Amino acid sequence: MAAIRPRPTPVCGFNRESMSDMTNALPPRKLHPNTIAVVAGRPIAPGSPLNQPIVLASNFRDGGEYTRTHGTDGWTALEQAVGALEGGRAVSYASGMAAAAAAVYALAPKVVVIPTVSYLGVRSLLSEYHAQGQVQLRPVDITDTAAVAAAAHGADLVWVETPTNPTLDVADLPAIGAAAAVAGARMVVDSTFATPLLQQPLQHGATIVLHSGTKFIGGHSDLLIGLCITDDDEIFERLIRARTFQGATPGALEAFLALRGLRTMPLRLRASQSNAAVLVERLRKHAAVQEVRYPGQGAMVSFIMRNGATAADAVCARVRILVPATSLGGVETTIERRQKYAGDAHVHPGLLRMSVGIEDVDDLWADLSEALEPHAPGTTA
Ligand SMILES: Cc1ncc(COP(=O)(O)O)c(C=O)c1O
């Protein structure tokens, strides 16, 4: 019979407490996010594998624990890497929606300021709590900072999503964070579209940053995962309890793949952003396009077809390289008309939301411009 070995203590290059604890493995200076994405969350014990292997275990011998209550080294590795990028401590969940539900559980708000335009799943979740009489909602235009500040008075939570899904509006995070603090309200920021590379909301007073890791962190449209990050120890414990009691645990394979995706996120994002900038410029000159919405960085681009829903649906039907699909943040370019969903009925009927991938930009433009062409006599680009 093989000798029984005790479960080893996880030893990783970053721990949850602080990046200074990795000094025996890495130089004690502030690292660039491109480096953190590659080095954080790696086992550092002599002889250990470079990557934390997939831990397929629900149960551990005495001295170990049960996965739902204590997690696994696979989750910890991903959490260390995302936490290091955001400047806080991360908790991983089964999906972005599970992370959103955990944030609500952890903060137990009674009065919530919510963006009128934002990801419909989260708005539906909060509307459900409202319908059950558990919260009051104060919908605001998240780009109207004065309105957000006014609504924050008497609220206990300001829920921000920036850039917003699907209109790509940008909130003034420093100003909203300051206004929420003055009002005594907490701030949650869904930073999925920005990724941990383009903004760090904890620096602007957010209590919790949320990511659907399904999107840019995973980056390959092959998993569901979510993360909440906080720099508040008490909230961190509540976020852990939310996962334990709601049972919203990430899968072992998903956690492994998400961390593998994170390693190349800076490269992928750079390629996607460069493609997005070119497509934005060309779309802006196209006769079929009425308006292009792009926050100036990131891989998400929305544009409104001059001839409305019919023209937008025709584009989705004609593309051959772009993929008509609802999710986003992968290496492939996806496109979708959002107003077709009941929860996005207030969005412009001709708005197409595009998640720009890493294909060659000229192939993307050739495909997109052919799909736009029948509706665009007088195309200029
Ligand atoms: C901004 C945003 N937040 C949260 C979610 C929910 O994430 P998931 O689908 O991983 O549950 C999504 C999904 O599209 C999203 O776009």
pLDDT computed for residue 26 by the predictor = 65
CA dist list (Å): 232 to 87, 106, 365: 11, 12, 45
Q: How far is the CA of 380 from the centre of ligand 1 (A)?
A: 36
Q: What are residue 198's phi and psi, to 5 degrees?
A: -100, -20
The percent of the chain in helix, strand and coil, each rounded to the nearest 5, is 40, 15, 40
231 and 297 share one domain: no
pLDDT tens digits for range 206-220: 999 999 999 999 999
Mutate to test the pocket of ligand 1, among 117, 122, 192, 328 (most ligand atoms within 8 A of CB): 192
Give the total number of structural domains in the chain: 2
223 and 90 share one domain: yes
Domain of residue 289: give its range: 266-375
Mutate to test the pocket of ligand 1, among 214, 225, 341 (most ligand atoms within 8 A of CB): 214
pLDDT tens digits for range 274-297: 999 999 999 999 999 999 999 999
Instruction: Enumerate residues 6+ apart whose C-beta is below 8 A from 40.
Output: 13, 14, 80, 81, 84, 85
pLDDT for 247 beyond 50: yes
Say which CATH number the domain at 85 has. Answer: 3.40.640.10
Q: Which is more confidently placed, 18 or 34?
A: 34
User: Is residue 63 one of the residues assigned to a domain?
Assistant: yes
End position of a domain, from candidates 218, 245, 263: 263
279 and 174 share one domain: no
97 and 197 share one domain: yes
Q: Please name the residue whose Cα sits nearest to atom 7 of ligand 1.
A: 96
202 and 328 share one domain: no
Confidence tier at 17 by pLDDT (50, 70, 90): very low
Say how far residue 107 (Cα) sits from the centre of its chain.
19
For residue 207, what are its two tokens? 């209590």
pLDDT computed for residue 108 by the predictor = 98
Q: Is the CB of 224 under 6 A from ligand 1?
A: yes
| Structural element, H or E, at residue 290 | strand 289-293
Average pLDDT over residues 289-306: 98
228 and 348 share one domain: no
End position of a domain, from candidates 228, 263, 298: 263
User: Is residue 12 one of the residues assigned to a domain?
Assistant: no
Average pLDDT over residues 166-195: 98
Q: Is the CB of 118 under 6 A from ligand 1?
A: no
Q: Is the CB of 72 under 6 A from ligand 1?
A: no
Q: What are residue 90's phi and psi, to 5 degrees?
A: -105, 150
CA dist list (Å): 155 to 49, 59, 108, 117, 356: 48, 42, 12, 19, 36
Say which CATH number the domain at 325 has. Answer: 3.90.1150.10
pLDDT tens digits for range 249-272: 999 999 999 999 999 999 999 999
Q: How far is the CA of 5 from the centre of ligand 1 (A)?
A: 40
241 and 129 share one domain: yes
pTM of the model: 0.93
Q: Please name the residue whose Cα sits nearest to atom 2 of ligand 1.
A: 119
User: What's the CA dihedral at 54, 265, 190, 128 to 10 degrees?
Assistant: -50
User: Is residue 380 one of the residues assigned to a domain?
Assistant: no
Tokens 């070995």, residue? 5
Q: How far is the CA of 215 from the centre of ligand 1 (A)?
A: 8
169 and 276 share one domain: no
Q: Which amino acid is present at 339?
A: Q
Q: How far is the CA of 121 from the centre of ligand 1 (A)?
A: 7
User: Is residue 3 one of the residues assigned to a domain?
Assistant: no
pLDDT computed for residue 64 by the predictor = 81
240 and 191 share one domain: yes
Q: Is the CB of 172 under 6 A from ligand 1?
A: no
Average pLDDT over residues 14-24: 39
CB contact at 8 A, 229 and 191? no
Give the length of the chain: 381
Q: Please name the residue whose Cα sits nearest to atom 10 of ligand 1.
A: 96
pLDDT computed for residue 202 by the predictor = 98
186 and 241 share one domain: yes
End position of a domain, from candidates 234, 263, 292: 263
Q: Which amino acid is present at 264?
A: T
CB contact at 8 A, 79 and 90? yes
